[in-house]
Structure 1
Amino acid sequence: MTTKKQLKRAFIALTSLGLSAIAPSALADYTILHNANGYTLKKGTGTHQFSTLVIKDGKVVATGDKSIISTYSPAEKIDVQGKTLLPGLIDAHGHIIGLGKNQSQLDLRNSKSLKDALEAIAQYAKNTDGWVIGRGWNQENWPSKTFPSAKDLDAIVSDRPVALTRVDGHALWVNSKALEIAGITKDTKAPEGGEIIRLENGEPSGILIDNAEPLVYQHMPKIDKTEVNKRLDAAGEHLLSLGITSAHDAGIDDLTYQVYLERAAKNTLPIRIYAMLSATDSQLSKQLAAGKKFDNNDMLAIRSVKVYSDGALGSRGAALLEDYQDRIGHKGLMLMSNQELEDVFTQAFKAGFTVNTHAIGDKANRVVLDTYEKVYAKTGGKLLRNRMEHAQIVEPSDIKRFKQLAIIPSMQPVHATSDMHMAEDRLGKHRLTGAYAWQTFLKQGSRVAAGSDFPVELANAFHGLYAAVSRQDKHGAPKNGWLTEEKLTREQALRAFTLDAAYAAHQEFKIGSLEKGKWADFIIVDTNYFEAPLTYIYHTQVEQTWLAGKLKYQQK
């Protein structure tokens, strides 16, 4: 039998003759990336810069300058040619299967008017049979800024159902055929935590908010494991191209739960996934009873529950303490009662699961904080690294309670720059203190875990990094940024998308930085993140993405 030592000797002999019949990686103990402009963060020590990264068996062995290269042999050496090397980015809040679905369905994100949207819908409908399904419309980007109607859709598609989810997922636009199939009429009462927007005569307009959406969803075509796997692969390929090596999937159904477990067992997950069980899934009790789930390669972790407390600001479903400025008499929607929140928190904590709760409005944040505090006193659970997903509008006096109750604010920087004009319309400037308050959270000692909420926003984490440090949109507006006191430094922003996102998933000793013993998840990009002009961050291109020491994406 040929030994490893004999193979090494053969390789040396061949290479001395100018031959390369045996790939270096087949013989090398180490992989060394050198001549890099490398950065990583370390716990409590700020930013560490290096030019050489040493990898073995998928994990980091060392970082340093070129002097360490000779210490590790035999090695496959890769010249990074001075490019910037960063830890793999972690998106702390997204929807993986939803992103994969978006890759193949009608996307209305770029529609600039109702007319634009209708033209895109009509064109898409020509090439599909059955239900016309899509996502991404946003009336705030249209001149009218008003909700569309079933009548608008009926003019282009009336013979089959149309169901189009708003960009934030908290409103559904349907045609009359879909209303008919769902049995929604003038006399239909909206479920608790939902709203059926109505015309002046009381008839349903074609817009369903939050808990009213399932009235139609339950009649839409069901998907199977094959489709879930297809969407997972599409999402994984897209995320790797953006330098995202790990994503926190914010609320999975039982079918996705089964697929994730199967793929983890086969070691075929495309990226690392921290998956949150959905509090609304009928199989939650069974899933909790099955216990926390992990795999040996740290590709999958299921140890938390996603709870939904209110809607979104754009659809006026976020629960507020005071009326919406642009809809007097309306304060938004709580999707669960206080008792329902308390019950699911208690159930999750008793099973040892973390609770990550969607809360956007200031009322929702307060109610959820109250619930955490109440359940801690009865059940415990404070040390589980519980999270508030979004934490967008928080009454200033409640911010300190995040630290007191050990709640991690899981926030999406690009939401601030997408929402800034709409947020002022909804709340008025005088109620924006405590809105998208990243720096305020950090100054009190809270860790901020950053994400994008894809596919609500684009999954590009560099858009989020740019928004975090600039508080500007992609056009550089407003000139000096919006609510500029909440800007992050470049180091703080990168930490939120790496090490602190890992902490929020109980994974800071495995991923999130390039330190000895951690998985070698990293990216090579075309921009010096720490030194390039601010606007360059937004346009950063990922040239390579490595996961566990293996090249998974190469820019063409």
Structure 2
Amino acid sequence: MNHDNCNHDCAQCACHNPLWNNYETSESLNHFTDSIKEYAKQLSTSESLLPTGFVMYSGGVIRPMINGSTDQVEAIGFANGKVFAVGNLSDVSAQMRALGMQPNNHLVLEENQTLLPGLIEPHVHIVPTALTMGWIDLGTFTGQHLNPDYSLDYVLNQVKQFAPEKPGDWILGTGVDPALMPFEYEGECKDSAPQLADITVIALDNLRDDNTPIFLMSASLHTAYVNTAALEQIKPFFPADEQANFVNNITEQGALQELTQISPAFNAIPTSQNLAALKHLPRYIAEIFSTANKRGVTMMYEAGMKPMMCEMLKLYRKFTPHNMRVGYAKLCESVADAEALTDFTPITEQSLAEVFQAGVKLVSDGSNQGLTGYQSEQYSCNPVNNYGIFNYSYDATEQTDSNKPNYQKMVNTIINKGWPILIHANGNHAIDIALDVFENALVGESGIYKRHRIEHCSLLSDYSAKRMQEIGISPSFLIGHVGYWGYAFEKVIFKSKSHMLDRCKTMLDLNSRITLHSDLSVSPTGPLRMMEQAVTRIMEKSPKHHVLNESECISREQALKAITYDAAWQCHVDEWVGSLAKNKLADYVILAEDPLTISDARKIRDIPVLQTWVGGKLRYQYQLFS
């Protein structure tokens, strides 16, 4: 693999999915329209989008998170899809009876059952995730837990056992993650520096003798692993003057790298398989929403929406029950995209019944575990002289002559149109440049008013943390970097710099508001799991489950606020969701146990979600709950 700080390719990650570019066509939308209409015919006609009537809860633990407080109340009442009364039992009972509530609509929670506002995923990728759910799942997750047997051999055996449906089909896999495989050592010498597992063209060639093309996407989406049969079919999609050496070059390199190499490969995948992905897309979107409901999620924020994704989600919403609120930030990839934006339109309560835009997204670098996050110092592992990749030209004077989009001009244009901005920045150098462009564009005004964000915000120095708070930029942390990948970062990728990862406590101590996200499909959806990882900071691949930088552990109360109240604030919907104050929407969950008092914080992710309600409609019920 060859990465360097002069690479002009666009860094890929879940925020900038190279596969989706091939589906940004009206033809794709037409195919999806046919698919969603067919899918809708199979659904129950009894599903109503109207809210339920009156219901009141008391007993158990009720934490409405009003103003971000975790204080308990005795009772809460809902009517017509909204919170009608909240407070002490006698007052709420009186108000609900006056409204006409019948006695059998007063439900008493059992001792440990806990009612909370609906949990919020502030950064996911819905349609791109659904698009590859029909491929072989070669990821390391079983639910929200790591597969202890995940290894290079595990991945190769999964591929070897797979049989294509018909002649000519490719073997397509997704989720391959060398950073979660056992480390490799030079000559098997444990005294040598550990390296990430390496998947080569030759290794894939050895799996089959039938000339079936193999194409496996990495979890970070910056790399695609292929065999020679695939390379031969991809070759014609490259410029004529590059074809002669294409197969040899990629075989030596080990895999396809970045957009310029991966995008032509998608063009070579058989049309029938691409159409099959669109055919099954509605069902996989439904699975994403259903899984999220089972984990207590009532709203998801698509952090990188493109036009056809948006149209597809709007169609999905038109033909299926509203079991998930969906907001988004529109992906902006050039100065022209920024200039084409309309002026910001404030969100309304009615917006929450639709697929609504609340921001604009920029992607400045790649993935740290994919070795493409943009760093000020080179990565500690091979390849050498790798600082990651940066997607923009940056010059505060806007006079840069480059083929890359001008970063400062893009940010200035978007801010002048009034839009909140989410900037994807993983590497510490990418974060520092993001702060530069924010500070220049804001011209002394605090970014807090528009709730501008840095996404992932992975490697953060003390200086940058203080500067972020001074400028008024809030972070959203991909906390799985600590829980899932922390051990790889500590032992191989960053080593001593790994203490800078996901500095939740540092930002809270600076009076910042933080959120936690999954970056689905990078890590599994599940705010309770993210809460657990922020509280414990246990490196789950560590043989002894060591903690990564214990000083950055946050309290359960702080973590709960991050996945409810502050998540709603970052997504610009806190006027209606994220807490359960009077007149807010009836988006809430009931858990089997209280995450603030469960005896072992390492079990927070496994607390059963008993019910999930969206707008006063029951959207999930645990089968044993009655």
TM tier relative to shorter chain: 0.7 to 0.9
Partner of 1:464: 530
1:417 and 1:198 mapped to 2: Cα distance? 38
Q: CA 1:367 to 1:527, structure 2 compared with 1: closer, same or farther past 3 Å? A: same
Partner of 1:148: 199
Which string of whole-angstrom CA distances, capped at 9 and with x for unpartnered residues, describes residues 516-555 of structure 1?
Answer: 1111111111222111121221321111101111111011
Which string of whole-angstrom CA distances, capped at 9 and with x for unpartnered residues, describes residues 409-462 of structure 1?
Answer: 011222212121211235544323432101001111111011111221111222
Normalized per residue, the structure richer in strand is 1
1:438 and 1:477 mapped to 2: Cα distance? 24
Runs of 4+ in 1 over 6 A off after TM superposition: 184-190, 196-202, 378-382
Is the aligned partner of 1:546 residue 2:613? yes
1:332 is matched by which residue type in structure 2? G
Q: Is the 8 A contact 2:61 2:115 kept in 1?
A: yes
2:349 and 2:318 mapped to 1: Cα distance? 7
Partner of 1:241: 294
Partner of 2:263: 214
Q: CA 1:407 to 1:549, structure 2 compared with 1: closer, same or farther past 3 Å? A: same
Q: CA 1:486 to 1:265, structure 2 compared with 1: closer, same or farther past 3 Å? A: same
CA shift, 1:63, in A, is 2.0
Q: Which runs of 5+ in 2 are unaligned?
A: 1-49, 141-148, 185-195, 395-404
Is the aligned partner of 1:424 residue 2:486? no
Q: CA 1:541 to 1:436, structure 2 compared with 1: closer, same or farther past 3 Å? A: same
Is the aligned partner of 1:536 residue 2:603? yes
Partner of 1:133: 172
CA shift, 1:189, in A, is 8.1
1:422 and 1:107 mapped to 2: Cα distance? 21
Q: Is the 8 A contact 1:527 1:540 kept in 2?
A: yes
Partner of 1:270: 323
Q: Is the 8 A contact 1:42 1:515 kept in 2?
A: yes
CA shift, 1:380, in A, is 9.6
Which string of whole-angstrom CA distances, capped at 9 and with x for unpartnered residues, describes residues 13-36 of structure 1?
Answer: xxxxxxxxxxxxx99952112323
CA shift, 1:201, in A, is 9.4
1:320 and 1:215 mapped to 2: Cα distance? 28
Partner of 1:115: 153
Q: CA 1:201 to 1:540, structure 2 compared with 1: closer, same or farther past 3 Å? A: closer
CA shift, 1:113, in A, is 2.0
Q: Is the 8 A contact 1:173 1:208 kept in 2?
A: no
> Does the residue aligned with 1:47 lie in a helix, a strand or coil?
coil
Which string of whole-angstrom CA distances, capped at 9 and with x for unpartnered residues, describes residues 292-338 of structure 1?
Answer: 57671614321312211111112211111011112332111112322
Q: How many residues align?
A: 525
Is the aligned partner of 1:231 residue 2:287? no
Is the aligned partner of 1:47 residue 2:70? yes
Partner of 1:64: 87
> Does the residue aligned with 1:495 lie in a helix, a strand or coil?
helix
2:357 is matched by which residue type in structure 1? I
Moved more, 295-304 or 350-359: 295-304
1:380 and 1:27 mapped to 2: Cα distance? 39
Which string of whole-angstrom CA distances, capped at 9 and with x for unpartnered residues, describes residues 37-59 of structure 1?
Answer: 11132226x31212322001111
1:218 and 1:27 mapped to 2: Cα distance? 45
Partner of 1:180: 232
1:378 and 1:219 mapped to 2: Cα distance? 50
Q: Is the 8 A contact 2:339 2:413 kept in 1?
A: no
Q: Which runs of 5+ in 1 are unaligned?
A: 1-25, 191-195
CA shift, 1:109, in A, is 1.5
CA shift, 1:64, in A, is 2.5
Q: Is the 8 A contact 1:185 1:204 kept in 2?
A: no
1:468 and 1:478 mapped to 2: Cα distance? 18
2:371 and 2:121 mapped to 1: Cα distance? 26
Q: Is the 8 A contact 1:197 1:205 kept in 2?
A: no
Partner of 2:123: 93
CA shift, 1:265, in A, is 6.0
1:47 and 1:529 mapped to 2: Cα distance? 11
Aligned to 1:279, which of 318, 324, 332?
332
Q: Is the 8 A contact 1:469 1:490 kept in 2?
A: yes
2:260 and 2:555 mapped to 1: Cα distance? 38
Which string of whole-angstrom CA distances, capped at 9 and with x for unpartnered residues, describes residues 169-220 of structure 1?
Answer: 3322222233333338899889xxxxx9998997442242466432423444
Partner of 1:84: 114
1:64 is matched by which residue type in structure 2? G
Partner of 2:464: 398
Alignment of 1:452-531 (within 5 A): 452-473=518-539, 481-531=547-597
CA shift, 1:236, in A, is 1.0
Alignment TM-score, normalising by the size of structure 1: 0.85
Q: Which has the higher contact order (CA 8 A, sep 6+)?
A: 2
1:307 and 1:402 mapped to 2: Cα distance? 17
Q: CA 1:81 to 1:139, structure 2 compared with 1: closer, same or farther past 3 Å? A: same
Alignment TM-score, normalising by the size of structure 2: 0.76
Query: RMSD in angstroms over aligned alpha carbons?
Result: 3.3
Aligned to 2:134, which of 84, 91, 104?
104
